[in-house]
């Protein structure tokens, strides 16, 4: 039993974990770095279960004042066309743009033309949760220690299409396996900042996307490390868990479905222009799975929302990861549920470590005073990787642990059923 908000912490990883070398030449490994980055988890004792922790997010706190400049990128993929918005963390400014979230304004063309640099500062590329954006409090809590009070990190947030007051300019909407925009930004960052070590951080749906992206890239991934927080992993299991309970369906699924319907309504003209979605039918949506049935299946050609969930899940992607990867999950998370966490997959892949806490809810982990515990292991892990670990010594192995099997098979953890056929 957890006593007075003190959550139990556990780590799941391969028995033969990824070896790492410190800059001073001594040896360590990935679990040791993760454990050293994880402080005790002392949460607010009044928020003593996952529901209370999660629902407390409805209390509108101000959060750390992070300032952004926005750049609209044109997609470079011939199929996944359109535009998407990326918000870059910048020094405080007084510019006000009422069309954007607070403390956010656009780069001028002259400013953005000068953004390239040969510096070696570490850079973090962040993905937010469902229908969120760079303004989300859980996200700002997580990156504030890296950029405020002398932090030397460069950070940008890739906003999902239509989110954070960005426009929808094509029929390509975001979904749980929409890795194309983050892939483009990672490639752009590699060209624009050739000497920066790049890292990824994803929350909830963004964690699922990031895990899929890192798995798809495999040994060729340009990132030096990645963190997935509150990842639902197995979307079909998570969806069924939501529908199984009163709170799951009538609170969480209803809120998420309503938020997604509001997002579609904000972009009504674009949706009617660029898609074949039935806008009137979407107005009858109440729950998240109903939204996915009306939008994701119609957009991408899945016969059912469950087929979409199975195809977009990132649980198998864990097996294909070939960079240092830390996942942080709360076992009492009512949205990214316990049953969906792929414990065995983490045990198989030496490049991955799963950090679980017995308390915390969904992207919550509220401490006394309103702080968020999850910011500590996130920032400590990133700082350890950049200050103590010789990143150039990490050599991705396409075969992972090299486990031997009785039969030779062609199992590919990143094989997907959906194939977009060019017209």
According to DSSP, the β-strands at 198-203 and 225-229 are parallel
* 390-412 per-residue burial string, b: 16 or more CB within 10 A, e: under 16: ebeebebeeebeeeeeeeeeeee
Q: Residue 139 is inside which H or E element, if any? A: helix 137-147
- Residue 333 designated active-site: yes
- Residue 97 designated active-site: no
According to DSSP, the β-strands at 41-42 and 27-29 are unpaired
Q: Out of 131, 142, 204, 364, which one is annotated catalytic?
A: 204
Q: Can you give the length of the chain in residues?
A: 423
The SS3 of residue 20 is strand
∠ CA 43-48-53, nearest 5°, is 75
Closest alpha carbon to 220 in 186, 181, 175, 177 = 186
The SS3 of residue 264 is helix
Cα R_g (the chain), whole angstroms: 21
Q: What are 276's two structure tokens?
A: 């074949």
Residues 41, 9: Cα–Cα separation, whole Å? 7
Q: Out of 313, 329, 333, 364, which one is annotated catalytic?
A: 333
Residues 282, 301: Cα–Cα separation, whole Å? 17
CB 56 within 8 A of CB 63: no
Q: In what order do the strands lie in the sheet with 67-74?
A: 9-13, 352-357, 325-330, 225-229, 198-203, 123-127, 154-158, 83-90, 67-74, 104-106
Residues 271, 275: Cα–Cα separation, whole Å? 5
- Provide CB contacts within 8 A for 223, sequence distance 6+: 125, 186, 198, 199, 200, 214, 217, 323
Q: Out of 128, 141, 289, 362, which one is annotated catalytic?
A: 362
Active site residues: 204, 333, 362
């Amino acid at each position: 039993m957890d006593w007075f908000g003190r959550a139990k912490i556990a780590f799941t990883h391969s028995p033969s974990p990824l070896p790492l070398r410190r800059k001073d030449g001594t040896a360590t490994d990935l679990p040791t770095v993760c454990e050293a980055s994880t402080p005790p988890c002392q949460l607010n004792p009044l928020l003593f279960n996952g529901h209370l922790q999660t629902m407390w997010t409805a209390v509108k706190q101000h959060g750390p004042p992070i300032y952004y400049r926005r750049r609209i990128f044109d997609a470079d993929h011939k199929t996944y066309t359109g535009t998407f918005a990326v918000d870059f963390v910048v020094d405080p400014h007084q510019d006000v743009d009422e069309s954007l979230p607070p403390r956010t304004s656009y780069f001028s063309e002259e400013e953005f033309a000068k953004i390239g640099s040969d510096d070696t500062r570490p850079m973090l590329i962040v993905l937010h949760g469902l229908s969120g954006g760079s303004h989300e409090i859980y996200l700002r809590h997580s990156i504030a220690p890296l950029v405020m009070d002398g932090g030397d990190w460069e950070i940008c947030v890739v906003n999902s299409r239509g989110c954070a007051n960005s426009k929808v300019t094509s029929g390509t909407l975001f979904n749980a396996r929409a890795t194309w925009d983050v892939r483009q930004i990672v490639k752009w960052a590699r060209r624009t900042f050739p000497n920066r070590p790049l890292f990824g951080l994803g929350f909830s749906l963004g964690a699922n996307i990031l895990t899929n992206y890192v798995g798809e890239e495999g040994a060729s991934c340009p990132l030096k490390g990645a963190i997935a927080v509150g990842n639902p992993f197995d979307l079909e299991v998570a969806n069924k868990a939501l529908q199984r309970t009163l709170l799951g369906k009538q609170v969480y699924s209803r809120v998420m479905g309503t938020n997604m319907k509001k997002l579609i309504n904000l972009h009504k003209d674009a949706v009617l222009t660029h898609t074949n979605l039935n806008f009137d039918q979407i107005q009858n949506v109440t729950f998240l799975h109903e939204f996915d049935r009306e939008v994701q299946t119609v957009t991408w050609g899945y016969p059912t929302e469950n087929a979409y969930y199975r195809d977009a899940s990132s649980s198998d992607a864990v097996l294909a990861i070939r960079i240092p990867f830390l996942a942080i999950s709360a076992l009492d998370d009512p949205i990214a549920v316990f049953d969906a966490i792929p414990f065995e997959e983490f045990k198989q892949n030496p490049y991955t470590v799963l950090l679980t806490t017995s308390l915390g809810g969904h992207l919550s982990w509220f401490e006394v005073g309103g702080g968020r515990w999850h910011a500590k292991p996130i920032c400590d892990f990133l700082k350890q990787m950049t200050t103590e670990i010789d990143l150039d010594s990490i050599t991705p192995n396409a075969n992972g642990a090299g486990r031997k099997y009785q039969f030779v098979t062609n199992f590919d953890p990143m094989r997907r059923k959906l194939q977009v056929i060019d017209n």
